[in-house]
Amino acid sequence: MSELEVKNKFNIQASTETIDGEIATLNLGPTHPATHGIFQNVLKVDGERILHAEQTVGYIHRAFEKLAERRPYNQITPITDRLNYCSSPINNMGWHMTVEKLIGADIPKRVDYMRVIVMELARIADHLVCNSVIGVDTGALTGFTYMFQEREKIYDLYEEICGARLTTNVGRIGGFDRDFSPEFYTKLRTFLNEFPKNFDEFGSLLERNRIFMDRTIGAGPISAERALNYSFVGPNLRAAGVDYDVRVMKPYSSYQDFDFKIPVGTEGDTYDRFMVRQQEIRESLKIIQQALENMPSGDYHADIPSFYLPPKEEVYRSMEALIYHFKIIMGETPIPVGEVYHSVEGGNGELGYYLVSDGGRNPYRLHFRRPCFIYYQAYPEMIQGSLLSDAILTMSSMNVIAGELDA
Amino acid sequence: MSTSSFIDKTIEGLNSKGFILEYVVDQYNEYNVFISANNALETIKYLNADLGYGFLVDLTGSHYPEKEGSEYQVVIHLQNLVENSRIRIKSNLSKDNLEFPSLTSVFSSSNWMERETFDFFGIQFTGHPDLRRILNVDDMDYHPMRKEYALEDATRADKNDTFFGR
C-alpha cells in the first residue's frame, strides 16, 4: 500500500494548525527520565517555550518529623541519612552537633577535624553528582561516567570509616564509634593524589567548552535580590553573587581553623552554579588536605558517658559501663530542657535542625530546615519564558534532591 | 562583627515600637522574642526594612496541648546577613483562633513554609495566596503533627512502656 493509499483509506489529514499561539498543558513527571527523582511539574507550553509552571511536591514524603518524635536521639541519625542522600554524612554530623549543642558537650579538636574530613568528602561527592549530571543533561555523558568512578572512591572511604556507602549513619553523638583506620588514611592519601588530576580532566571537558557554555550561560538565571527573597542558600545563592556560607558565618566543627575561599558567581545562571560547585570541590580538597596535615592527637569521641556508648568489651566487664550501655540503649539518659537551632553547610546549603526538648527520651519537636524545599519554590519563576530543555537543565543545576524536598 | 550589640539594638528597636510581648535569652544565648499575632506582619516588615533582617531562615510551628490559651506556636528564624545576627521570633496562638498573618508579601520563600505549617498544624495564614496542603495528600482531613495523633496506636497493650516510656 502506498502512502497515498493509506491516507485515503484511513482518512488521515495533516494538521493545518501551527504550534505557535496554541497553549498546551504538559505533565513533566512525576517519574520522568529527565528529572532525577520524583518531581512533577505541570507546564503550560507554547511550542517549546514555558509560559507557566507549577510544581507538585510530596511524592516521597515519609513524615520524618513525626517519626523523630517517637525515637530516642541516637536513633534519629538514620532518618537524617535519607534527607539529602547524596551527602548523608553532612546530615548525620549536623544532627550530632545539634544534640551536642543541646546537651552542652565539649567536643575534642580531633573529632572536629575528623568530621571536617568526612563532611568535605561528602560535599565533593554531592557536587560531583550535581555537576556531572548537568553534563549529562547537556548531552555530555563522558564526564559523568568518569566522575561517578571518583564518587565510588569516596564511597569506599565512607565504607572504611563506618561500613556503609550511601546511607552512612556515620559517627555518634559525641564523636565517632571508632578511630579512622590506617587503611582509611592510605586510601584518603591515594584519593587526594589522584582525584585532582582526574577532576581537572573533567573540568577541562566542560568548563571552557564552547558548546557547554552556550548551552548553560543564561539558562535559568536568578538575581541576588530574588535569590535572597526566596531564601536561597549554598552554591545556588553564591552563584547569584551572595557570599553566604554557614561554615564562615556561623563556624561549627572548627571551620574557623581552615583557610579556604568562598567562590561566588555573578549571574545566578546554570553556568555560574556549575562553576561555583567546581570551585567548591577544589576548596574542599584544600580543607581536607589541611585537616589531614594538622590532625590533632587526642580522643575520637567526647567524654560524655551518658550519651556515648562505652566500648563493648567494657560492657561485659565493668558494672558502670553496663549501666551506661543499658541507659543509652533504653533512652533513659537525662537531657536538658531547651530548644536549639543548629545549621550546617550541607551539599545544597544551610541545613538546619530546630530541636525542642522537654527532657524526655525523644525530641518534643524536631524540624528540618531543608534547603531544597525552600529554594525549589523559585523554580517556576526561573524557568518562565525559557525553553523546555533549559528547564531540565535548571532543575539539575539547582540540585533538587527528592529526599530533602519531601522529608 | 559585633553580633551581641546588634541583637541588643534589635531588641531596643522592637521595644520602642512596642512589638515585644516578652523576650527570653536562653541558656544557649539565643534570643527568643515573643510577639503578638495581630501585629506580626508589621513586626516582620519593621525587622526586614529597618533592621536589615532580610533573610528568612525558617518558619515552622509547634503544638503544646497542655499550655492553656497558647496551644500553638509559630516559630520564625530571621537573619541579618550583614551583621551576622540571628533572631528567633515566636508567636503563641490559642487553639480557638489559629490565624497568623502570611509573610508572603515580605518573603517569597515563606509561601511553602507556611503551606507546610498549615499542612501539619492547621495554622491559618491569612492573606496567603494559595494555602493548600503541600506534603500530605489533598483529601487528608486532619493535621498530623498535632500531638493528639500519636505515631503508634495508643491502645496497644504490648507497647506499654510503663517503666521506660514517657
pLDDT digits (tens, 9 = 90+) for B118-159: 999 999 999 999 999 999 988 888 899 998 887 765 556 665
Nearest alpha-carbon partner for A93 in A70, A117, A124, A71? A117
Put simply, the answer to whether A228 touches B134 (Cβ < 8 Å) is no
Smallest Cβ distance to B84: which of A249, A336, A406? A249
Cβ of A338 within 8 Å of Cβ of B57? The answer is no
Q: What ipTM was estimated for this complex? A: 0.90
Nearest to A58 among B77, B113, B136 (CB): B136
The 3-state DSSP class for residue B1 equals coil
- Kindly report the pTM of this predicted structure: 0.90
Residue B8 has a pLDDT of 87
Q: Are A341 and B30 inside 8 Å of each other by CB?
A: yes
pLDDT-derived band of residue A37, with 50, 70 and 90 as boundaries? Answer: confident
| Among B7, B159, B155, CA closest to B80 | B7
| Contact present, A55 and A39 (Cβ < 8 Å) | yes
The domain in which residue A211 lies consists of 64-406
Question: Which residues of A fall within a CB distance of 8 Å from B7?
Answer: none
What value, to the nearest 5°, has the Cα angle with vertex B2 and ends B57 and A113? Answer: 70
Residue A287 has what pLDDT? Answer: 95
H or E segment and range at residue A7: helix A3-10
Taking phi first (over 0 means left), then psi (-120 to 50 degrees means alpha), and beta for anything else, what does residue A223 get? beta
Contacts of A339 in chain B (CB under 8 A): 26
A234 φ/ψ angles, rounded to the nearest 5 degrees: 65, -155
The pLDDT assigned to A39 comes to 87
CA dist., res. A89 & res. A114, Å (int): 12
Give the pLDDT confidence score for residue A35 in this predicted structure.
77
Model confidence at A43: pLDDT above 50 = yes
Is residue B2 pLDDT above 70, yes or no? no
Q: What percent of chain A has pLDDT over 90?
A: 69
A15 within some domain: no
pLDDT at A334: 86
% pLDDT > 70, chain A: 95
Q: Looking at residue A19, what is its pLDDT?
A: 54
How many folded domains does chain A comprise?
1
CA–CA dist A266, B51 (Å, integer): 26
- Calculate the average pLDDT of chain A: 90
B129 and chain A: CB distance < 8 Å anywhere? no
- Would you say residue A11 has pLDDT above 70? no
pLDDT tens digits along A229-246: 999 999 999 999 999 999
Is A367's Cβ below 8 Å from some Cβ in B? yes
Query: Cα(A238)–Cα(A276) distance, rounded to whole angstroms?
Result: 7
Alpha-carbon gap, residue A367 to A357, rounded angstroms: 12
Residue A316 lies in a domain: yes
Cα–Cα nearest to A91, from A313, A339, A307, A407: A407
**Among the listed residues A336, A403, A402, A354, the one whose alpha carbon sits nearest the alpha carbon of residue A94:** A354
Q: Comparing C-alpha atoms, which of A69, A68, A102, A77 is closest to residue A340? A: A102
Q: Which residue of A has its CA nearest to B145?
A: A66
Q: What is the mean pLDDT of residues A320-344?
A: 90
Place of cell 571537558: A205
At B166 the pLDDT is 43
Span B55-62, mean pLDDT? 94
In a domain, A14, yes or no: no
Please report the pLDDT score of residue B5 as a whole number.
83
- A window 68-87, beta carbon within 8 A of B: 69-70
Q: Does residue A217 form part of some domain?
A: yes
Which parts of chain B are beta strand (E)? Answer: 20-25, 31-35, 55-63, 72-80, 85-93, 99-101, 124-126
What's residue B152's pLDDT? 65
Position A221 in a domain? yes
Neighbours of A141 (CB within 10 A): 10
* Residue contacts between A and B (CB atoms, under 8 Å): 95
CATH number for the region B3-152 comes to 3.30.460.80
Predicted local confidence at residue A15, as pLDDT:
45
If you average pLDDT over residues A259-284, what whole number do you get? 94
- Give the 3-state DSSP-derived string for A297-313, with helices as H, strands as E and coil as C: CCCCECCCCCCCCCCHH
In angstroms, the separation between the Cα of residue A406 and the nearest Cα of chain B is 7
Asked if A146 is an interface residue toward chain B (Cβ–Cβ < 8 A), one would say no
Residue A257 has pLDDT above 60, yes or no: yes
> Dihedral sign, CA of B141, B146, B152, B155?
negative
Beta-carbon contacts of A12 under 8 Å, excluding residues fewer than 6 positions away, are: A6
Chain A residues lying within 8 Å of B161, measured CB to CB: none
Task: State the pLDDT at residue B163.
Answer: 60
Among A61, A228, A361, select the one facing B166 at the smallest CB separation. A361
Chain B touched by A228 (CB under 8 Å): yes
Helix (H, G, I), strand (E, B) or coil at B97: strand
Crossing angle between the packed helical segments A141-162 and A109-137, to the nearest 10 degrees: 160
The residue of chain B with its CA nearest to that of A98 is: B28
B73 → chain A, closest CA residue: A365
Q: Which of B29, B45, B57, B120 is the best mutation test for A, with the most CBs of A within 10 A?
A: B57
- Compute the Cα dihedral for A220, A224, A229, A232 and give only its sign: positive
Mean pLDDT of A315-324: 93
Grid cell 581553623 — which residue? A257
**Per-residue pLDDT band at B1 (split at 50, 70, 90):** very low
Closest chain B residue to the Cα of A243, Cα to Cα: B81
Residues of B in contact with A363 (CB under 8 A): none
Assess B58–A contact: CB distance below 8 Å, yes or no: yes
Phi, psi of B132 (to 5 degrees): -125, 170
Residue A10, pLDDT above cutoff 90: no
Q: Given CB atoms, is B52 within the 8 Å cutoff of chain A?
A: no
Q: How many whole angstroms separate alpha carbon A38 and alpha carbon A30?
A: 5
Instruction: Flag whether residue B53 sits within 8 Å of chain A, measured between CB atoms.
Output: no
pLDDT digits (tens, 9 = 90+) for A120-167: 999 999 999 999 999 999 988 999 999 999 999 999 999 999 999 999
Measured in angstroms, the CA of B153 and the nearest CA of chain A are apart by: 12
Strand partners, A339: A356
Per residue in B64-104, pLDDT tens?
999 998 999 999 999 999 989 999 999 999 999 999 999 99
Phi, psi of B122 (to 5 degrees): 75, 20
pLDDT score of A8: 63
**pLDDT computed for residue A16 by the predictor:** 46
Q: List, in sequence order, the alpha helices (H) in A253-340.
A: 270-293, 312-317, 319-330
Contact A61 B136 (CB under 8 A): yes
pLDDT digits (tens, 9 = 90+) for B27-53: 888 889 999 999 999 999 999 999 999
Per-residue pLDDT at B162 exceeds 80: no
- Asked if the C-beta of A399 comes within 8 angstroms of chain B's C-beta atoms, the answer is no
The SS3 assignment for B61 reads strand
Largest CA distance in chain A: 93
Structural contact between residues A138 and A212, judged by C-beta atoms closer than 8 angstroms? yes
Q: Where are the domains of chain B?
A: 3-152
CB atoms within 10 A of CB A197: 8
* Type of residue found at A201: E
CATH of the domain at A213: 1.10.645.10
Neighbours of B53 (CB within 10 A): 26
Q: Is A47 helix (H, G, I), strand (E, B) or coil?
A: coil
Give the pLDDT mean for A203-208: 92
Q: Which residue of B has its CA nearest to A340?
A: B28
On whether any CB of chain A is under 8 Å from the CB of B154, the answer is no
Interchain CB contact of B54 with A (< 8 Å): yes
For residue B165, is pLDDT > 60? no
Q: Which of B111, B134, B145 minimises the CB distance to A58? A: B134
Q: Is the Cβ of A374 closer than 8 Å to some Cβ of chain B?
A: yes
Q: Which of A365, A366, A376 to substitute to test the interface with B, most B CBs within 10 Å?
A: A365
Q: Decide: A131 and A34 in contact? Cβ < 8 Å.
A: no
Please give the average per-residue pLDDT across A26-41, as a whole number.
Answer: 83
Q: Is A60 on the interface with B (CB under 8 A)?
A: no
User: Cβ separation of A226 and B108 shorter than 8 Å?
Assistant: yes
Whole-angstrom distance, CA of residue A192 vs CA of residue A79: 30
Over 80: is that where the pLDDT of B113 sits?
yes
Beta-carbon neighbour count of residue A12 at 10 Å? 9
Choosing among B55, B115, B142, which should be mutated to test the A contact, i.e. which has the most A CBs within 10 A? B55
